[in-house]
Amino acid sequence: MMKRPTFAFGLVLATLPIAAFAQSAPASTSRESGASAPVDLSAAKPGRDPNQPIDSAYTAKIKEYTTEPFFLSPLVDYLPASKTVPTPKAVLGDIAGAPTKLPYSKEVYEYMRALAKASPRVKVYSIGTTEEGREMIAVAVASEELIQKLDENKAKLAKLADPRTINMDDKVAEEIAASAAPVYYITGTIHSPEAGAPTALMELAYRLAVDESPYIRNIRDNLITLITPIVEVDGRDRVVDVFNWKMKHPGQTVPPLVYWGKYVAHDNNRDAMGMTLKLTQNVLNAYVDWKAQVIHDLHESVPFLYDNTIGDGPFNAWIDPLLTNEWQMIGWNNVQEMTRFGMPGVFAHGTFDTWSPGYLMFIAATHNGISRLYETFGNGGTAETVERTLSPSETERTWYRQNPPLPRVKWSLRNNNNYEQTGLLVSLSYFANNRRQFLENFYQKSKRSVTKAKVEGPAAYVLPADDRRPGAQAELLNVLRKQAVEISRATVPFTVTVSASARRSARGADSATKADTGTTTTRTFPAGSYVVRMDQPYSRIADALLDYQYWSPNDPQKNPYDDTGWTFPEGFNVQAVRVTDVKVLDAPMERVTGEVRSPGGVTGTGSVFAINHNADNALATLRYRFAKADFQIAEESFEAAGKRFARGSFIVKGVPQADLDKAAKELGVQAVALAAAPNVKAHPARAARVAILHTWLGTQTEGWWRQAFDVLSIPFDYISTQDVAKNPNLNAKYDVILFPPTSGNGTAIIQGMPMWRNPVPWKNSPETPNISTLAQTDDMRPGLGWQGLENLESFVAKGGVLVTVANTAEFAVQFGLTNGVTANSAKSNSVVGSLLRTKRVDETSPIVYGVSDNLAVYSDDGGSFSVSSTRGGRGGFGGGGGASGRATGRGTADDPDVTQGRSVDPKFDAPPRATVQPWQAAPVTDDMLRSPINIIPPDQRPRVLLRFADQKELLVSGLLDGGGDVAQRPVVVDVPMQKGHVVLFANNPLWRGETIGSYALVFNTMLSWDNLNAGRKLDEK
Ligand SMILES: [Zn+2]
């Protein structure tokens, strides 16, 4: 039988969804399951069942706390009464949305568990814990019958979620879709100051369990509502602390919520790619375990209800187009129904683009479900009713917002809870009525994720067994594992066709697509290579993370909502070859179970051990594991035991082989035992005493640094700018101070917050028991101050190393901690969270040991540096002269001018001027040295280690508009300052767990902190 060409296969598949819909009955005409009478509830109107009594005291309070009648709907303007099931009042002491009460997580959980105890329609599940050990829960609400059949129902959904289990049989899938109940997963208050969701969700759970109105019964009978009332539990308890403090200290300045989770604040909703935070892992596991169809995440920053799921372009390029239609269906139905209720300010569309898959809700989008997000209107972490004046942009009437929010309004938590519950109930009702279609879509999306390998491709990504960075490779594969992606491993070598295009020279990735007519070649991958097959249900998230992103500068969307590029193999600096040749799927391979470990241990025998420097992060972990042992770093490459070791490799003495072997196995580090130390110049690798420095203005971006250090078991002290201001002898405690990006400019770092009004404490106390002891102060207002600046300067002058990044690097430059450096900004919005290519400038610097050329780095906004050998000078530009620099005169552009009437003796010619590249300082001339006051001594001049690549190869992934003001400029600069160093990063080397490939730049700096001048060649003049 002849093999069918792949394109024909694609055409056949493309017709399937239409056929499936044609055969399915309209979803809303019958009730498929249930022993009760086949009453059609789908047309039920919202509103109470007149036969069910209401809780009149509770209902009266709803009306009291709602500021206008039109902020209510027929779904929430009453509370049904129950003789057996407690209302939220039982725990809150008042109704949900009362102006004096924000409940702690334990109160919310206590209520949910009381509800589960009292109602057979409710079950509570523990889904994990947070970084600080607080519990996360999921509450399931459905009819008794559905709750009793949860396992049976889940088994059905599992078949739709993994169509391979039913041999991709559409008929079987249709039968399941006709009888299964979907799972609609609602997640609340990931953003701690957006504090209304928990009370709304307590009441929602009660309504779904108790209300006998046909509208609610229809929901309860036909789908399972799953609720995580609090996603950021650590931050929840802190925001309640701060709210309670506010109530006890009327009229005082309230402490800003500087910490939400242990590590990050608002960015906890950017972790759905890197999966570094427990809350992301727990929600993903719950979503995957329940085989849910939706994640609906609740936020509160836009009036009055913005269904931002639909958002604006560009949409993410890796999701199934069926999903984008589903966003529109559910979203516009929501607007329609709530507008019908007369609730103002309900809209969809807006400016949010749906490009980045980093948002929590996007777990569903990248795992064949439906992502949804509401912005309702919150009062910023308080339960109080507040007079609010909205901005014109929030209240103007637009095509997608015909009934906009009111310009001035008294707004209550109860109003917010009304909007949240009404929107959710409308969505649940719509989903229940169209459940069959949504389940068929769920199946189709899952199926097309499997057929993707042979339809649109790629067939797989291959991570070669011989990657020079097996540790980073394992880290990348473990991110995919957390994403529930299946990973396989080749048992024998295999050969496939790959694109010969060298466009992505750094990673050697295969950029071929079906349309690519470029030449191809074959490549043989060794046994043990990892294969991420695209014929699996969760192929889309793997593809989205491993592929490249291109955001056109011509895109109509000029304000990307978040990062535009994230290509994980580039950020991790490992190879992942995109293979479109479907033969790869036939290579002999086995599934990897459990965590991926890079091979490690000691080979050979001897008392000295050599460890190659490949910039894997475990090298730093290992050094700190044996903090007291003798670790040397080779300043040149060398050969030993028949192996080549790169510059920067470790030479270890004084550790028993068995101990090193155990640690090396655990950490995935390969060590070679030698009889004697190799003959190579070396300096000590120090287990430096490190502090991570934060301000009280913003801690989020440095939180990613702490997170990485904790994961890698690298110890550090956590200090604030106030601690620095109080300590004139920082060298006694620290060798290296890391100052990751913070909020505000240099002046704000010095000044802190305004000193007027009352002290603003951030302190663990009986009043605020959930403020952690991680960082505390009696008064958040004072900044670094001039004393702190002086202490930092003294720390560096006496030999310490200060590492600064992005805005803290600008601070160091602005306040005179560096000589001969200026900071450049790129044109606004020309780079927005992109990966950019770098080149090594000085590979002898310890800071770049083991780091390969062409490293991709994360650039937030295209910032860079220029260097100069003179104080106050600006290097690099305009110093080159050349043809284009000549004045008007005779001859061509390259010719010299000739002055008429005098001899042309070459001895009067100026010496040729050196070409100065943008990453270089202009050379010091004899003329300049005649007055050397501003000439920086050679050993105090900035040393450029990494620069941005040339413009044509600058963009790795994301948006780059132009780039002439970024290309070739310095990215990482080591600036000596008396006995110490200030190291400047224009990129952020530790970002959201996505830049594993850049971490070594920081760890190298720490390990060689007192030898950073190694390999340096000083200028002659
Ligand atoms: Zn939010």
CA 447 to ligand 1 center in whole angstroms = 32
Confidence check: pLDDT of 516 > 60: no
Q: Residue 701 corresponds to which amino acid?
A: T
Centre of ligand 1 from the C-alpha of residue 413, in Å: 16
CB atoms < 10 A from the CB of 854, how many? 18
Q: How far is the CA of 54 from the centre of ligand 1 (A)?
A: 34
pLDDT at 1 exceeding the cut of 60: no
DSSP 8-state class, residue 254: P
Kindly give the distance from the C-alpha atom of residue 92 to the centroid of ligand 1, in angstroms, as a whole number.
24
Q: What percent of the chain has pLDDT over 70?
A: 93
Q: How far is the CA of 383 from the centre of ligand 1 (A)?
A: 17
Matching residue, tokens 């600069």:
973
Encoded tokens for 837? 């290519």
The pairing of strands 643-645 and 589-591 is: unpaired
Taking residues 144-169, what's their average pLDDT? 98
pLDDT at site 307? 94
- In this prediction, residue 873 has a pLDDT band, given cuts at 50, 70 and 90, of low
Query: Does 505 score more than 60 pLDDT?
Result: no
Crossing angle for the helix pair 214-222 and 413-433, nearest 10 degrees?
Answer: 60
* Nearest CA among 987, 979, 997, 991 for reference residue 735: 979
**pLDDT grade for 896, boundaries at 50, 70 and 90:** confident
Q: Would you state the pLDDT for residue 156?
A: 98
Mean pLDDT is lowest, of 384-398, 521-535, 891-905, for: 891-905
CA of 957 to the centre of ligand 1 (A): 26
Mean of all residue pLDDT scores within the chain: 93
Cα 680 from Cα 478, distance rounded (Å): 36
User: What distance in angstroms lies between residue 301's CA and the mean position of ligand 1's atoms?
Assistant: 6
Query: Of 50-59, 151-160, 901-910, 1011-1020, which range is least confident?
Result: 901-910
Alpha-helical (H) ranges within 752-868 are 785-797, 807-814
Per-residue model confidence (pLDDT) at position 529: 98
CA dihedral 620, 623, 627, 631 (to 10 degrees): -140
Q: How far is the CA of 191 from the centre of ligand 1 (A)?
A: 5
Give the distance (Å) from ligand 1 centre to CA of residue 753.
24
pTM over the 0.85 mark: yes
Task: State yes or no: pLDDT of 512 exceeds 50.
Answer: no
Amino acid letter, residue 222: N
CA 267 to centroid of ligand 1, rounded, Å: 10
Report pLDDT digits (tens) over 661-710: 999 999 999 999 999 999 999 999 999 999 999 999 999 999 999 999 99
The separation between CA 369 and the C-alpha centre of its own chain, rounded to angstroms, equals 20
CA–centroid distance, 300 to ligand 1, in Å, is 6
Check if the beta carbon of residue 848 is closer than 8 Å to that of residue 842.
Answer: yes
How many angstroms separate the alpha carbon of residue 532 from the centre of ligand 1?
Answer: 33
Q: Does an H or E element contain 1000, and which?
A: helix 999-1007
Measured CA to CA in angstroms, residue 66 lies from 201, 304, 342, 392 at distances of 17, 14, 15, 24
- List 645's β-bridge partners, or say none: 638
Determine the Cα–Cα distance for residues 610 and 927; give it in Å rounded to an integer.
49
* Residue 1004: C-alpha distances to residues 169, 637, 1012 (Å): 55, 16, 9
509: pLDDT strictly greater than 60: no
- What's the whole-number mean pLDDT along residues 819-840? 97
| Contact between residue 980 and residue 800 where contact means Cβ atoms under 8 Å apart | yes
Query: 997 C-alpha vs ligand 1 centroid, how far in Å?
Result: 30
Cβ contact 499:510 at 8 Å? yes
Tell which residue, 196, 229, 374, has the closest CA to residue 298: 374
Find the 1010 Cα to ligand 1 centroid distance in Å.
44
Token pair listed for 188: 């609340």
Of the candidates 132, 374, 139, the residue with the CA atom closest to the CA atom of residue 233:
132
Distance 437 CA to ligand 1 centre (A): 30
Ligand 1 centroid to 359 CA: how many Å?
Answer: 10
Under the banding of pLDDT at 50, 70 and 90, the label for residue 499 is confident
**Distance of CA 101 from the midpoint of ligand 1 (Å):** 20
Measuring CA to CA, which residue among 367, 424, 407, 438 is closest to residue 177?
438
Asked whether residue 883 carries a pLDDT value surpassing 70, the answer given is: no
pLDDT at residue 501 greater than cutoff 90? no
Least confident segment among 125-129, 313-317, 402-406, 914-918: 914-918
Residue range 580-597: mean pLDDT, rounded: 97
Q: How far apart are CA 604 and CA 332, in angstroms?
A: 67
The answer to whether 768 touches 241, Cβ cutoff 8 Å, is: yes
Segment among 519-528, 874-883, 974-983, 1009-1018 with least mean pLDDT: 874-883
Read off the tokens for 895. Answer: 């010719």
Would you state the structure tokens that stand for residue 691, as one six-digit string? 């502090």
* Dist. CA 564 → ligand 1 center (Å): 19
Ligand 1 centre to CA of 731 (Å) is 41
Sheet with 122-129, edge to edge strand ranges? 122-129, 135-141, 224-228, 183-187, 294-299, 370-376, 305-307, 346-348
Band the pLDDT of 12: cuts 50, 70, 90.
Answer: very low
CA–centroid distance, 236 to ligand 1, in Å, is: 13
Whether the upstream peptide bond of residue 314 has omega within 30° of 0, thus cis, is yes
C-alpha torsion sign, points 792, 798, 804, 807: positive
> How many angstroms separate the alpha carbon of residue 68 from the centre of ligand 1?
25
pLDDT digits (tens, 9 = 90+) for 745-773: 999 999 999 999 999 999 999 999 999 99
Q: Ligand 1 centre from 268 Cα, in Å?
A: 10
Tell me, what's the pLDDT at 10? 33
The mean per-residue pLDDT over the stretch 333-348 comes to 97
CA of 70 to the centre of ligand 1 (A): 25
In the numeric block, the tokens 């070594």 are attached to 1000
Q: Which amino acid type is present at position 874?
A: R
Residue type, 271: D
Residue 824 has pLDDT above 70, yes or no: yes
What is the Å distance from ligand 1's center to 876 Cα? 43
Measured in Å, residue 382 CA sits from the centre of ligand 1 at 15
What are the Cα distances from residue 394, in Å, to 467, 675, 877?
52, 73, 45
Q: Is the pLDDT of residue 289 over 50?
A: yes
Spell out a b/e string for 411-430, using b for 16 or more CB atoms within 10 Å of the CB, else e: bbbbbbbbbbbbbbbbbbbb
Q: How far is the CA of 219 from the centre of ligand 1 (A)?
A: 27
Instruction: Quote the ligand 1 centre to 302 CA distance (angstroms).
Output: 9
Nearest to 849 by CA among 570, 1011, 573, 647: 647
Instruction: Give the helix/strand (H/E) hosting 984.
Output: strand 980-985
pLDDT in tens, 17-54: 333 333 333 333 344 444 445 578 888 999 999 999 99
- C-beta neighbour count of 267 within 10 angstroms: 19
| pLDDT tens figures, 920-959 | 999 998 888 998 999 999 999 999 999 999 999 999 999 9
**Rounded to the nearest 5 degrees, what angle is found at the Cα of 213, between the Cα atoms of 333 and 375?**
35
Ligand 1 centroid–CA 194 distance in Å is: 6
- Ligand 1 center from residue 969 Cα (angstroms): 36
257 CA from centroid of ligand 1 (Å): 14
Q: How confident is the model at residue 514 (pLDDT cuts 50, 70, 90)?
A: very low
Tokens standing for residue 358? 């980093």
pLDDT of residue 685: 98
Confidence of residue 302 (pLDDT cuts 50, 70, 90): very high
The pLDDT of residue 885? 65
- Residue 15 above 60 pLDDT? no
